[in-house]
Amino acid sequence: MKTLAQVFAVPLLLGVLATVGLVGALVGDGVWDVLSWLTLGSTIVVALWYALRRGPRARRAAG
């Protein structure tokens, strides 16, 4: 059985990264833009990685 910290560690990290990315996009240009693209893009990368990691059989059973 997973602990509460194990369950919420990655979603919390993604939330912090998204917050940093949104604030970075609001505060400045140049390096801040790069920071915002990287941090906001990390959420998309993790979602795609998780979706592609699951096999077609698991996707068919879920849908």
pLDDT in tens, 9-22: 999 999 999 999 99
Q: SS3 of 18, please?
A: helix
pLDDT in tens, 3-62: 999 999 999 999 999 999 999 999 989 999 999 999 999 999 998 998 899 766 665 666
**H or E segment and range at residue 7:** helix 4-27
Q: What is the DSSP string of 36-61?
A: HHHHHHHHHHHHHHHHHHS-HHHHHH
Pairwise CA distance, residues 53 & 40, whole Å: 21
